[in-house]
Amino acid sequence: MINTDSTLHIEKVTSTRVGEVDFDNLVFGKTFTDHMFECEYKNGAWQRPTIKPYGPMLVYPGMKVFHYGQAVFEGMKAYKDENDDVFLFRPEQNLERINKSSKRMAIPEFPKEIFLEALNELVRLDKDWIQKGDGNSLYIRPFAIATEVGVSASPSKEYKFMILLSPVQAYYKGFVKVLIAEKYSRSADGGVGAAKAAGNYGAQFYPTSLAQEKGFQQIIWTDSNEHKYLEEAGTMNVFFRINDTLITAPTSDRILDGITRKSILDLAKHNGVNVDVRKLTVSELIAAAEDGSLKEIFGAGTAAVVSFISHFGFKDKIYELKEQSDSFAVMFKKQLNDIQYNISEDPFGWRKKVELF
């Protein structure tokens, strides 16, 4: 439900901080733009949406988000082309997914019309923070948290929906080494693996740190029942190329329905690449690595877009993947980037221009 006063209210900064930023040396997600979006949910309805100067919030230690983890988020990007036009990539999909995540976490869904208007206005206001060029973009972080004060074990009756903007460069540069999980799991049947719930990511940090101690950057997660099936890579969906077939796990209540994943599957079909959406076992992967039919593994997600995997480890053995002259990962990343940066035609209608004036 929306409050009768749903007009977007805008409070602009008196002066911008954009001149203080070293855009050549950004740490991913550490720098935020001049403005942020905020909308509160109270008395059964979303209240007046507001864009305001970025800054701290007043929070109470009894807020339910701190005690019961009612928090969901999204990851999106805005891109600037050589003509200084700005584009979003499939924003309706992000709204659909955060509302799906919210529903799973008993958080009220956010209205589409307010989200899209606020997103356009927020990006328009802070367009000077978006740098042109390969790898540069504006990372967009919508999120919702439970704000009702009280420690009773029940869903909050009050929430805050916000959007933050952060100028970024490429998330991963070069190749990534991954370790196949044998003990820890990202999610379980009937759980919240398909939701972008904050706790999903917090639970990954410890096993990932153990992998990093062994020289790997990320983990390829396996199913929680038998650790038999390959599911996701770190915070990304994962693809495997065996011979000339592209294989990825089907989505489920354990696996996130990634927007980059969907886009790569569409691009694969567009390019005539054979796609097999099915469960892939660890033993199949090892056999393919040993007989030479495993050509590529790569991750797919908003932050990295496509992340090239050069090695994977399993049971104290490391398998190396040779670079392919006809790499699917290279092809898909270029085609995605060309659409995102308005370099090529967009036959899918994914690119949405931000109205700057």
Look at residue 173 in the predicted model and tell me its pLDDT: 72
- Three-state SS for 287-322 is HHHHHCCEEEEEEEECCCEEEEEEEEEECCEEEECC
Residue type, 329: A
Angle at 91 between CA 276 and CA 269, to 5 degrees: 25
Write out the residue limits of the CATH 3.30.470.10 domain(s) in the chain: 9-168
User: Per residue in 121-180, pLDDT tens?
Assistant: 999 999 999 999 999 999 999 999 999 999 999 999 999 999 999 999 987 777 899 999
Look at residue 4 in the predicted model and tell me its pLDDT: 54
Look at residue 120 in the predicted model and tell me its pLDDT: 97
Q: Token pair of 232, please?
A: 């996701």
Strand pairing report for 9-10 and 175-180: unpaired
Look at residue 3 in the predicted model and tell me its pLDDT: 65
Q: Token pair of 273, please?
A: 């690449």
Look at residue 159 in the predicted model and tell me its pLDDT: 98
Q: Count Cβ neighbours within 10 Å for each residue of 253-292 and write b for 16 or more, e otherwise.
A: ebbbbbbbbbbbbebbeeeebeeeeeebebebbbebbeee
Residues of the chain with pLDDT under 50: none
Q: Is 168 helix (H, G, I), strand (E, B) or coil?
A: strand
Look at residue 1 in the predicted model and tell me its pLDDT: 63
Q: Token pair of 21, please?
A: 């930023």
Distance CA(214)–CA(210), nearest Å, equals 7
Q: Provide CATH code, domain 9-168.
A: 3.30.470.10
Q: For residue 292, is it left (φ>0), alpha (ψ between -120 and 50) or beta? A: left
Compute CA 185 distance to the chain's CA centroid, rounded to the nearest angstrom: 19
Q: What share of the chain is helix, strand, coil (3-state, %, to 5)?
A: 25, 30, 45
Q: Token pair of 114, please?
A: 């307010």
Of 228, 105, 204, residue with least CA distance to 155:
105
Look at residue 170 in the predicted model and tell me its pLDDT: 81
Q: Is 231 helix (H, G, I), strand (E, B) or coil?
A: strand
Residue with tokens 């005539």: 272
The answer to whether 68 and 150 are in contact (CB under 8 A) is no
Domain 175-340 = CATH 3.20.10.10: yes
Distance CA(122)–CA(131), nearest Å, equals 16
The answer to whether 138 and 126 are in contact (CB under 8 A) is yes
Write out the residue limits of the CATH 3.20.10.10 domain(s) in the chain: 175-340
Beta bridge partners of 308: 175, 298
